A and B are shown apart, each in its own frame.
Chain A
Amino acid sequence: MSDDSLRPEDFAEAAGAAITDAEGKSFAEKTAVLAENGLFGVIVAEEQGGLGLDLSFGIPIVAVAGKLQLRYPLVEQMLVASALAGEDIGAAIVGGEKTAAIAWQGSLEEGYATHATFVADADYVLVASGEGAALLDRASGEVQEDPSLDPDYPQYTLKLEGAATVATLSAEAFAKLKFKAKVLYGAFAAGAGEGAMDRAASHMAGRVQFGRPLSAKQAVRHTMARMKLLTETSYAGLQRAIAQDEFGAARDVDTAFAGAIGNSCFIIEKAIHLHGGMGFTWELPLHYSLRDVRKIDAAFNTGGVVKSIGKAFIAAA
């Protein structure tokens, strides 16, 4: 699509409606709703069955998914569809006939892969292989659940001995996928944080203590203001990361990704805190967002990313 009048926020609104529609449905039903609304092919070229939009559209769409607590591998579907665009498997993912998960640590050569979610329902799992990656038939490997962080949507470890490869990605294609992954997961985390902030703001405005709403308390107002500041910083950083500078040079995504994950953890943790005892309950759904963002944090080892940013800065100075 090349219509300049299209605005990312309009797509985000439509995506939000689709995600709301998918809420409460089974994995297969969610897949059908999201595919029908074109969400898996947002960053896939039109001639390859997608919407032909760039990552600036992907950011608000995925952010809405984070905000609405979509518990589905939307980012993974978008990434694998984009990486395998033009191939039958890519088309099947865009159309929702097939689904893919991604294991972010381990490799085919090591014989195992970890930090994957939604594996139990997926048809394929993407794992690192050499400098590139291999898309495996999920049924051909042995899968183990790790429910310690999230019993509802656990992380998985895969034993890859004898796993069947159905497609491969070159080193260049895998590097591109990882760049997009950091942008989109960063946006998902920023959206999750924004959703938590909105819930906290609503609760603070309605919860009366000592005759006034909690939002009247300066300590609460200032904490909320910091949450807003970090939310805006995350979005601004991600949009900047995908834009070229004045000289046409691409930018690195690591600082924007690490910033978004760190900011989101802070915001969600504060939102839980501001809800008091209610924040510690299972009933209040903030913990879903915290689990989701911490899974991304673990998958990419954000602390290690920050350290590598520092090392790179030192080397370049």
Chain B
Amino acid sequence: MTYNIEVAHPDPATSRSAYRAHAREWLRANLPSSMRADSVDYKTPSLNECRDWEEAMYRAGLAGMTWPKEYGGYGLTLREHLAVNKEIGALMMPESVGSVGKELAGPIIMAVGTEEQKQEFLPKILAMKNYWCQGFSEPEAGSDLVRLRTRAVEENGNWRINGQKIWTSGAMKADYCLLLTRTGTVADKHKGLLMFAVPMNTHGIRVVPIKSIDGKESFAEVFFDDVVVPDSARLGKPDEGWSAAIRVLSIERATNRMYRPWRFEAELKMLVAAFKSDPELAKLLEDGYYQRRIGQIATEIDGLKGLIEQAVDQMAGGAPIGARGSLNKLFWSETHQAFATFAYEMVSQIKPTASAEALRAKKHFTTAYLFARAESIYAGVSEVQLDIIAQRILNLPKDL
């Protein structure tokens, strides 16, 4: 697949719409119909096809907008990032296979990495030369990382790592792991946590895929048995890397995959269009029950757009995002879960003789329903988000 990457990037200063118009035009002209989930031509893209697509997007100025130019970014603002995300969301394109690098590893390296690490890793993340996975969760440390056990011990200028990670998305394809370890014992709680950029081909790393509810093997257990990495793999000093990660995570929770409400809207359009394409199914859309449910979902999608645009306005104005990312995470995950359940309810009525669009929708939304079960779990379960809102935004006392 070849893409038109010889394209001029607009100067956002020329007009408020310049960057969004550029994103709209380029994405619509270049995204192959075989990669559009709402197309009857859709075929699940391979890893290489996804990589090529994301690299082309980057070359077209549609990734790395806010990263500094010296590290391969475009030195723009969150406003351009949001404008591009609206257009990414509006098309049913594949989910990013490089998101851990772009949204987590990259910002953390930028915050605490050495100049050498920044030069080494950041341009390659944007150019899709390296995939990253996130090695935070462990069997006994999910949302509560205080119980993290994977240990890093300094040894003759190197670090020896032993432990186990779990729920590691994309570990099978990753070139690097953003690994969270501890230098002391569990009794140290949040103290002594240390981050590394560990090459996944290092001796002693074993990846065991986990089959998930949707039948895919998109995450894994990762075992570290006497894995030795040089000190140059360390990201920041003990404590420093993790405290930076906390800051980055709070921003990331509010800003990552900003395209979500626009994507949910595109999904809702796909669902409705599929039903309209089939005369028998189209009759269902005349039912007030379905009209009202669709209206409710559209209302929630617009509410989510408001939360995201407000967060961008606040951050662009220099305000700290603090715990407000938890509002966004909670709202998008529960909104989409409810939508996915409703969509499944609808597509489960589609018969084998229905239109090609309807059959395509049935396949898409059945998988979406199953995958959506994960949305209230990953990136901090809903209960953790609710606790954060109660504690840090509402300041509700826990004791007298």
Contacts and interface: CB of A to CB of B under 8 A. Distances in A.
Interface in A287-311: 303, 305-311
Nearest to B20: A246
B327 A309 contact: no
Given A240-B306, A247-B17, A228 B293 contact: no
Interface stretch (B59-67, B148-156, B390-398): B390-398
A228 B331 contact: no
Interface SS of chain A:
helix
A303 B299 CA distance: 12
Interface in B314-333: 324, 327, 330-331
A220 to B, nearest CB: 8
Contact of B394 (A201, A208, A247): A201
Contacts of A236: 303, 306-307, 309-310
A137 to B, nearest CB: 38
B295 A306 contact: yes
B299 A224 contact: no
A151 interface: no
Contacts of B86: 246
B302 A240 contact: yes
Contact of A240 (B16, B296, B309, B386): B309
Interface string A239-270: 11101001110000001101100100000000
A309 B276 contact: no
A221 B390 contact: yes
Interface string B225-264: 0000000000000000000000000000000000000000
B327 A311 contact: no
A199 interface: no
B interface, how many residues as a size bin?
35 or more
Contacts of B306: 233, 235-241, 256
A1 interface: no
A interface, how many residues as a size bin?
35 or more
B31 interface: no
A248 B20 CA distance: 12
25 contacts: A201-B396, A225-B390, A226-B386, A229-B327, A233-B306, A233-B307, A234-B303, A236-B303, A237-B303, A237-B305, A239-B306, A246-B21, A247-B21, A256-B302, A259-B299, A259-B302, A307-B295, A310-B292, A310-B294, A310-B295, A310-B298, A313-B268, A313-B295, A314-B294, A317-B273
Interface of A: 201, 204-205, 208, 212-213, 215-216, 218, 221-222, 224-226, 228-229, 232-241, 243, 246-248, 255-256, 258-259, 262, 303, 305-311, 313-314, 317
